Amino acid sequence: MSTQSTSDFLKFANILTETYGIDTETLPQIISELMEFAEKMTITSSEKKSIVSDFIKKAISGSKLDDSIKNNFLLLIDNTIETIILASKLNIMSKNNNSKLNIKNITNIVYNRAYALINENGDVSQNVGLIALTLINIVEEYKHISGSQKKQVVMTIIKRLAADTDNSQLDLLATYSGAFIDTLVAAYKNKAIINEALKIYCKCLPCH
């Protein structure tokens, strides 16, 4: 696929926001797809992050979301972008834990690992997205439970961590954990789907 320009990015970004709308469920997916598009642009990594961040922040500010939700998302945007970038580069399918533990035991074990990690690293305000990414990576080791069960385990742990630690960023992550988890998993698994969407876009609008 040919290199994308800034005007191509803005056209694609506007199409995404018009198609999906801006809400708590669609915003993480929009960010993920915009980052995929930005990767096709011949600009630096920091410029790619900036163009996505600037567009998303303007879209949020101009949306019909409640002011409190707008403020929450504005606080999480840059962290979300960094985490999606990392998620797209990793492979969470390589490990395999053969322990046939039930959901409760898995939740407790992974929670204890995550809580210890937070205590070791002190203030994690700038890395809450990486906590979610780490949890997904750990839970993926348990191949005998379903995808929906894994998601529920991660959401439960994030909510417990938010309740057991004094961290406003973890509180925000707990509030929007469902959509955030879906987006991180998509960054691992669905790059082909996003790339196909870009191909369709370029058929509709000339790409440079």
Is the same domain home to 85 and 131?
no
Is the same domain home to 169 and 196?
no
Number of H helices, E strands in the chain: 10, 0
What letter represents residue 39's amino acid?
A: E
Within a domain: residue 175?
A: yes
Least confident of 31-35, 65-69, 183-187: 183-187
- Given a cut of 80, whether residue 135 has pLDDT beyond it is yes
Within a domain: residue 96?
A: no
Is the same domain home to 67 and 130?
no
- Least Cα distance to 140 among 200, 188, 208, 183 occurs for 188
- Range of the structural domain that residue 130 is part of: 103-180
CA distance 134 to 160: 15
What would the mean pLDDT of 30-42 be, rounded to a whole number?
86
Is the same domain home to 164 and 199?
no
Confidence of residue 52 (pLDDT cuts 50, 70, 90): very high
Within a domain: residue 1?
A: no
Is the same domain home to 108 and 79?
no
Within a domain: residue 45?
A: yes
Is the same domain home to 49 and 72?
yes
Confidence of residue 47 (pLDDT cuts 50, 70, 90): very high
Is the same domain home to 197 and 173?
no
Whether 11 and 202 have beta carbons less than 8 Å apart is answered as no
- Given a cut of 70, whether residue 144 has pLDDT beyond it is yes
Within a domain: residue 98?
A: no
User: What's the pTM?
Assistant: 0.58
Within a domain: residue 97?
A: no
Least confident of 80-84, 155-159, 184-188: 184-188
Is the same domain home to 122 and 173?
yes
Confidence of residue 193 (pLDDT cuts 50, 70, 90): very low
Give the pLDDT of residue 58. Answer: 94
Least confident of 27-41, 72-86, 151-165: 72-86
Is the same domain home to 71 and 144?
no
Is the same domain home to 109 and 146?
yes
Cα separations (Å) of 11 from 61, 103, 149, 185, 204?
Answer: 19, 44, 37, 26, 11
Q: How many domains does the chain have?
A: 2
Within a domain: residue 21?
A: yes
Q: Highest mean pLDDT: which of 45-54, 97-106, 115-124, 169-178?
A: 45-54
Is the same domain home to 21 and 80?
yes
- Given a cut of 50, whether residue 93 has pLDDT beyond it is no
Is the same domain home to 173 and 193?
no
Confidence of residue 131 (pLDDT cuts 50, 70, 90): confident
- Given a cut of 80, whether residue 208 has pLDDT beyond it is no
